[in-house]
Structure 1
Amino acid sequence: MRKSLLIGSVIIIIALFVQFEPFRDEPPDPRVEIQGKSIPTVQGTFCWSGLFSGQCVDKIYVDGLHMTEKSKPVTVMPNEKIQISFDPEPDTIKILQFNNKETGNSVTLKNNQLVTPKKSGTYAYELQARWSENGDGQFAFLIKVD
């Protein structure tokens, strides 16, 4: 009985460590998908504090357009839904859309989804995510609407 209790306690502690990732030293990468197809992201500047450490890293990117300048765009259709998720989910997410050299326009995220533009072109998206307990992170991805 005592041995079973000890083993059960160890399993619970391990599960908690795996679930909450207390040793993480940077924010989780977003999972960005369109119709089950993964869209790669680029990590930007972030500040993150874990159980035993904390750090701020400045990637010196100007914006989402600059962050994705070496990325290959994923080709999508107009008005498709892009699914964005994190594990764990942030408390807030701000999204900016860039088309060429224009200033970023704020985009609304509904049910963790955003809709691709109607107009053809290449678009960079900058995600600014914040977790109240751990910090914040900046990410970007690139799509081409055909």
Structure 2
Amino acid sequence: MKRFLFIGLIAIAVGWFFLLDPFRHQPPEPTVIIENREVKVYRGTYSWSGMFRGETADAKAEAVDLVKGDPSTRTNPDDRLTIRFEDGPAPKSVAIV
């Protein structure tokens, strides 16, 4: 009985370890909401490091080319911006340029 309990606890610990996704080498996709409207997000150049691995990637195109042809989202300077990371670990800092 104790052996099955021990094996079960080990299985739960291993599952929890992989649930935290320490092997991720790309940042999670954020959900961006401006005044209750979800806004499409584009991944540009980024640096990301996980527990075992890191990556710095340049975007395949310039920022202007990434959004070319997509409609823009008009906002006011006093609009509320919310950034959520629901899948994976949240970054320590976010830069909006």
TM interval, shorter chain, is 0.5 to 0.7
Structure 1 residues 61 and 22, CA gap change in structure 2 (3 angstroms): same
**What is the RMSD of the two structures over their aligned residues, measured on CA atoms?**
2.8
1:45 aligns with 2:38: no
1:72 and 2:68 aligned: no
Q: What letter corresponds to residue 84 of structure 1 in structure 2?
A: I
Aligned to 1:24: 24
* Residues 40, 52 of structure 1: alpha-carbon distance in 2 compared, 3 angstrom cutoff: same
Tell me the TM-score normalized by structure 1.
0.50
Q: Which amino acid aligns with 1:2?
A: R
TM-score normalised by the chain length of structure 2? 0.68
Q: CA deviation at 1:54?
A: 4.0
CA contact (8 A) 2:48 2:56 kept: yes
What is the Cα deviation at residue 18 of structure 1? 0.9
Higher mean C-alpha deviation, range 46-55 or range 7-16: 46-55
Q: Which protein is richer in strand relative to its size?
A: 1
Query: Would you say how many aligned residue pairs link Structure 1 and Structure 2?
Result: 94
Q: Matches of 2:77 and 2:52 in 1, distance apart?
A: 45
Q: Judging by fraction of residues, say which structure has more helix.
A: 2
One-letter amino acid matched to 2:83: I
Deviation at 1:42, TM superposition (A): 0.4
**C-alpha separation in 1, matches of 2:36 and 2:59:** 29
Contact 2:27 / 2:91 at 8 angstroms: preserved in 1? no
Higher relative contact order (CA 8 A, sep 6+): 2
Q: Mark the runs of 5 or more structure 2 residues left unpaired by the alignment.
A: none
Percent identity for Structure 1 against Structure 2: 27
Report the residue type matching 2:30 in the other structure.
P
Distance change >3 Å, CA 60–CA 51, structure 1 → 2: same
